[in-house]
């Protein structure tokens, strides 16, 4: 079976996120004073062939640990689509 996996990689909370800060300043300059705590990360989608949903998630987790996210500075969230 093929599962569509969505990965969201974000800078670890507490770490300085200069991109997020720059976007926040830009939003504020545009008049969106209500926007705050902006953080910028990265979204990755992929198909994973696996025997089960759990297996797809486990494999995707391994991919994140080994490549998609940097364990020193980034956290990730995984979501496996229902087929």
Out of 65, 73, 79, 81, name the contact with other proteins by CB under 8 A. 73
Structure tokens at 13: 């909370």
Q: How far is CA 46 from the centre of its chain?
A: 13
Out of 30, 36, 72, 82, name the contact with other proteins by CB under 8 A. 72
CA–CA separation, 78 vs 3, rounded Å?
A: 12
CA–CA separation, 65 vs 20, rounded Å?
A: 23
Instruction: Please report whether residue 70 would count as binding other proteins according to CB under 8 A.
Output: yes
Are 60 and 2 within 8 A, CB to CB?
no
Name the segment binding other proteins (CB under 8 A); options: 29-37, 50-58, 66-74, 75-83: 66-74
Q: Which helix (H) or strand (E) holds 82?
A: none
Out of 16, 29, 30, 33, name the contact with other proteins by CB under 8 A. 16
Instruction: Please report whether residue 15 would count as binding other proteins according to CB under 8 A.
Output: yes
| Contacting positions for other proteins (CB under 8 A) | 15-16, 18-19, 22, 67-68, 70, 72-73
């Amino acid at each position: 079976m093929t599962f569509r996996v969505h990965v969201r990689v974000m800078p670890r909370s507490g770490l300085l996120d200069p991109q997020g800060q720059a976007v926040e300043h830009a939003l504020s300059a545009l008049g969106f004073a209500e926007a705050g705590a902006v953080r910028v990360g990265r979204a990755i989608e992929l198909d994973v062939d696996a025997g089960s949903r759990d297996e797809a998630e486990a494999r995707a987790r391994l991919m994140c640990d080994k490549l998609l996210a940097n364990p020193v500075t980034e956290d990730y969230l995984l979501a496996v689509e229902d087929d």
